[in-house]
Amino acid sequence: MNVRITLRVDGEERSTTVDSRTTLLDALREHLSVTSPKKGCDHGQCGACTVLIDGRRMLSCLKLLVGCDGSDVVTANGLGAASGKSEAVRDPAGELGGLHAVQRAFLDHDGFQCGYCTPGQICSAVGMFEEAAAGQPSHVTTDLADERIVLDDAELRERMSGNLCRCGAYVNILAALRAAQPRSPAGRAPSELPEDGA
């Protein structure tokens, strides 16, 4: 069955006609030439294909494109002011050399080796920070009822466990995440954390 689908990708309206079997990941990469989401496992196990769908991080390899008609999809490519695109997640201050704060932190802290998992890590981190800011608990949150989430290392590790890195760059990914976490004015900022080590 062929279907015509229209969605926003990195702030731009895009339309394509695909077979109903096409996943969002394949549509982005093969039909729309948006290659920042990567295909690692194609079975929901690695996180390399992570994108933001309507602001939430999800795996594009397990999402059928036919279910995405009208959705707003943001990939690592569309983050940051340089793209001039996505309203939802762009760096509002625009002071980061055109990069999103999370992208900048990955560069500053050398949060990758080969880079294959990186676009997925970055989209996942952006979604993860939003979830924490909204007060969502994680498996390692001690007090489930407390909506002020402090993102210490245990929290960051747990919340990012859906993104595997074949190169094992986790130590520096964690350093990047520590540096990238939004400092909220409401006293929710995490306690001062060391910048080095894991």
191 binds other proteins (CB under 8 A): no
Choose the one of ligand FAD, other proteins, ligand FES, none that binds residue 94, judging by a C-beta under 5 to 8 angstroms depending on kind. Answer: none
- Region of residue 135 (left: phi > 0; alpha: psi -120 to 50; beta: else): left
Near other proteins by CB under 8 A: residue from 145, 187, 194, 196:
145
144 binds other proteins (CB under 8 A): yes
115 binds ligand FAD (CB under 6 A): no
Near other proteins by CB under 8 A: residue from 4, 97, 140, 189:
140
Helical pair 101-108 and 170-180, crossing angle rounded to 10 deg: 140
3: phi then psi, degrees, rounded to nearest 5? -135, 145
The SS3 of residue 4 is strand
169 binds ligand FES (CB under 6 A): yes
Q: How far apart are CA 30 and CA 137, in angstroms?
A: 36
16 binds ligand FES (CB under 6 A): no
Q: Report the nearest approach of ligand FAD to the CB of residue 59 (Å).
A: 8
Q: What 8-state DSSP symbol labels residue 97? A: T
Q: Report the nearest approach of ligand FAD to the CB of residue 162 (Å).
A: 8
Q: Report the nearest approach of ligand FES to the CB of residue 110 (Å).
A: 10
Q: Report the nearest approach of ligand FAD to the CB of residue 58 (Å).
A: 10
76 binds other proteins (CB under 8 A): no
67 binds ligand FAD (CB under 6 A): no
Run of H or E residues at 78:
none
In a 10 Å sphere around its CB, with 0-12 CB exposed, 13-18 middle and 19+ buried, how is residue 196 labelled? exposed
User: At a CB cut-off of 8 Å and minimum separation 6, what does 54 contact?
Assistant: 71, 72
Residue numbers at the binding site for ligand FES (CB under 6 A): 39-42, 44-49, 59, 61, 112-118, 165-167, 169
